[in-house]
Structure 1
Amino acid sequence: MQDQVVSALSELFARQRRIIGIPLIAYDAEDPSPATLLPALNGQVGWQAWRKPQASSFLNVGEALELAVHEDVSAFFGHYFAGNIDGCFKGLFFTLLQPWNEQDFDRLQQNQIGHQLMMEKLKLPASWFLASCRDEQKLITLDNASGAVQLERLGKGSVGILAPSLAAFLEQVEPC
């Protein structure tokens, strides 16, 4: 399953480049990334997804939480450094999150731990956030048990399944 997720993510980056061209991100000289493509211009820099020579995983997060982390989480967040991707799925607009560099990956893991602790406190099933929605009360998450991609309302849990798997979801995302 991991290979399918990595392949679907790679294809999404390629679609983004075909549709949008080189995406831009606010430039911060103190927060470099191997994904940076162009020199900064007007406070922005172009980027292209950069495949890590050695993939990162969420095994340490699983150990800390005493939870078996769905393998698609590591596949989605552990293989690339990239900017976030604005996308649309069946009329739902969102921003898919990606780590910009190693420090951002560490922050992402810490935020995912916080999300898991909140879910546990609320007695909701474990999920991993993948994207933020325009409606700040909603997230796109991966259900840890099934691997389905779902729409989640903060503090309330899943409000519906978007796709049966992360790979199927990524294959249908339209960059915007």
Structure 2
Amino acid sequence: MQNLESALDDLIERYVEQLPTRYTEYVAEWDSPIYGSVIDEDTVEWAPVKQTSPLSFNELERALEITFHDSIKAIFGRWFAGDLSLEYDGHPVTLLQVQSTEDGERLLANLTGHILMKRRLKQPETVFIGLGVENDDLLVSIDNVTGQVGLEWVGKEQHECLADSLEEWLATCQPKSELSDIE
């Protein structure tokens, strides 16, 4: 777990270093520690803040009778941050992040729906951690049993393995400016 936390910290450090000014959606109702200067009613500058009390999956695990893979708990329980625009193997992806405690609760509700859908479809349980920018029906997900990072279409099983672990996958991702033209 310590190596995974180091990989997450390293990615955040590289992101801040390469993108000194970062923007995210502004949600006025959230008391988000990441918010800096408000640009307009929808946009705010942000800076990452380490979570002092990691997002807890305990209640959701009990309700769903599941234990989430440590990498899933780590990626959403280590930092408060805006979503990260990354490049993986020449393709733009968005790595989802939790902006605040309220956003964490919203994420847990979305994960509930995702897990229940997977069960209804009798598919291996995965948790989405990102989106393909070129097609937002393409999810970057973690297999809850193996920890493998892969691609899956919404409602489908993982069809491509990107890395055997989140730590390995994060090491291959590069920060990408949110303002870059995506072709």
Matched residues in 1 for 2:125 and 2:25: separation? 33
Matched residues in 2 for 1:104 and 1:27: separation? 12
State the secondary structure of the residue aligned to 1:152. strand
Asked if the contact 2:7/2:167 (under 8 Å) is kept, the reply is: yes
Report Cα offsets for 1:76-114 as digits up to 9, x if no partner: 101211100011111222111111111100010010010
State the secondary structure of the residue aligned to 1:40. strand
TM-superposed deviation, 1:123: 0.6
Asked if the contact 2:152/2:160 (under 8 Å) is kept, the reply is: yes
What's the counterpart of residue 162 of structure 1? 162
What's the counterpart of residue 39 of structure 2? 41
| Stretch of structure 1 that moved more, 154-163 or 27-36 | 27-36
TM-superposed deviation, 1:118: 0.4
Matched residues in 2 for 1:85 and 1:32: separation? 20
Unaligned segments of structure 2, at least 5 residues = 177-183
What's the counterpart of residue 120 of structure 1? 119
Matched residues in 1 for 2:69 and 2:24: separation? 30
TM-superposed deviation, 1:42: 4.2
Matched residues in 1 for 2:51 and 2:147: separation? 24
Asked if the contact 1:59/1:69 (under 8 Å) is kept, the reply is: no
| TM-score (normalised: structure 2) | 0.89
Q: Which amino acid in 1 is paired with 2:156?
A: K
TM-superposed deviation, 1:34: 0.6
Unaligned segments of structure 1, at least 5 residues = none
What's the counterpart of residue 140 of structure 2? 140
Report Cα offsets for 1:52-96 as digits up to 9, x if no partner: 122223222211111121111111101211100011111222111
Question: CA 1:23/1:155 → structure 2, altered by over 3 Å: closer, same or farther?
Answer: same
Matched residues in 1 for 2:158 and 2:26: separation? 35
Question: CA 1:153/1:27 → structure 2, altered by over 3 Å: closer, same or farther?
Answer: closer
What's the counterpart of residue 14 of structure 1? 13
State the secondary structure of the residue aligned to 1:67. coil
Asked if the contact 1:3/1:75 (under 8 Å) is kept, the reply is: no
Matched residues in 1 for 2:38 and 2:56: separation? 31
Asked if the contact 2:55/2:101 (under 8 Å) is kept, the reply is: no
> Aligned residues: percent identity?
32
Counterparts of residues 23-62 of structure 1 (less than 5 Å): 23-36=22-35, 38-43=36-41, 44-62=43-61
Asked if the contact 2:148/2:163 (under 8 Å) is kept, the reply is: yes
TM-superposed deviation, 1:4: 2.0
Q: Which amino acid in 1 is paired with 2:110?
A: N
Matched residues in 1 for 2:152 and 2:91: separation? 13
Report Cα offsets for 1:4-27 as digits up to 9, x if no partner: 222111111111112121211233
How big is the alpha-carbon RMSD for the aligned residues of Structure 1 and Structure 2? 1.4
| TM-score (normalised: structure 1) | 0.92
